[in-house]
Amino acid sequence: MDAEQSQRTKLSALGRVLRDLHKQLIQVETQHFGSVGSPLEQLHLVVNHPHFSWLQKLSGLMAQMDERLDEPEEISVAEAFAFRVAIEELIGPSEKGDMAFRAKYNALLHDSPDIVMAHGAVRQILVNIVSQN
3-class SS letters over 5-60: HHHHHHHHHHHHHHHHHHHHHHHHHHHHHCCCCCHHHHHHHHHHCHHHHHHHHHHH
64 occurs within a structural domain: yes
122 occurs within a structural domain: yes
The pLDDT score that the predictor gives to residue 49 is: 86
Q: Per-residue confidence at 94, pLDDT binned at 50, 70, 90?
A: confident
pLDDT (tens digit, 9 = 90+) per residue, 39-74? 888 888 888 888 889 999 999 999 999 999 999 999
DSSP one-letter code for 75: P
Residue 97 neighbours by CB under 8 Å, 6+ apart:
88, 89, 90
Mean pLDDT is lowest, of 34-38, 40-44, 55-59, 109-113, for 34-38
- Residue 30 domain boundaries: 3-126
101 occurs within a structural domain: yes
131 occurs within a structural domain: no
Q: Centre a 10 Å sphere on the Cβ of residue 81 and count the other Cβ atoms it contains.
A: 16
133 occurs within a structural domain: no
16 occurs within a structural domain: yes
132 occurs within a structural domain: no
State the total domains in the chain.
Answer: 1
36 occurs within a structural domain: yes
